[in-house]
Chain A
Amino acid sequence: DAKTTQPPSMDCAEGRAANLPCNHSTISGNEYVYWYRQIHSQGPQYIIHGLKNNETNEMASLIITEDRKSSTLILPHATLRDTAVYYCIVRVARLGGKLIFGQGTTLQVKP
């Protein structure tokens, strides 16, 4: 199963872009990269997902390298409410779409 590696913690100044990296060097061709975040004591919130191409939605952008071995989640203008644990997950298709959460990155947005 493809595993992901994320830095345990990052800081970001309010109003600046937050760039969260993720390594998934063993990803298979049909596996998607998903990003979720979890604000303290709440359920995980879906942010974005992608396969090969870069993706953007109202919350964030996802940049996937051409070899698909790593990706970066970009929050363009971080606010204090973006302080959370961010999980990068490779969705394992052959296991019925099972999500395997890693330890994630704790993003602290500071004023």
Chain B
Amino acid sequence: DTEVTQTPKHLVMGMTNKKSLKCEQHMGHRAMYWYKQKAKKPPELMFVYSYEKLSINESVPSRFSPECPNSSLLNLHLHALQPEDSALYLCASSQGLAGARETQYFGPGTRLLVL
């Protein structure tokens, strides 16, 4: 089973709202990722967690706050977003970060619209 689940599938929020995106995997993977994908563009990495510790932050604005409460769960907390943050947010996981052999498996994404 290579399933990564994401909730919600769609989210509409105002610029003053606080919301969270959730990602879950039960493959025993120890690395988890958040990507952002704008319309007609390729996905771009935002954060990488390895063994529940943040290992890469691609200079993402602080209005995006990731959290990895355990090895199966990854959250992305959203606060005071801008309309330009509207995008498809993708979660992925891999067994680890050991070299170039760790295949990432993606979830279906959460489509976010900021009004």
Count A-B contacts at CB 8 Å.
Answer: 66
- Interface range on chain B: under 10, 10 to 19, 20 to 34, or 35 or more? 20 to 34
Chain A residues near B2 (CB-CB < 8 A): 46
**Which residues 73-104 in A have Cβ within 8 Å of B in the complex?**
87, 91-93, 95-104
Chain A residues near B77 (CB-CB < 8 A): none
User: Does residue A68 face the partner (Cβ distance < 8 Å to B)?
Assistant: no
A104 to B56, CA, bound (A): 24
Pick from A16-24, A36-44, A58-66 the stretch touching chain B.
Answer: A36-44
Count of interface residues, chain A, beta-carbon cutoff 8 Å: 27
| In contact, B103 and A34 (Cβ under 8 angstroms) | yes
- Which residues on A are within 8 Å of B, measured CB to CB? 30-32, 34, 36, 41-46, 49, 51, 87, 91-93, 95-104
Q: A42-B109, A44-B43, A96-B97 are in contact. List 9 more A-B contacts (CB 8 A).
A: A31-B100, A43-B6, A43-B108, A45-B106, A46-B106, A49-B101, A97-B48, A97-B97, A98-B48
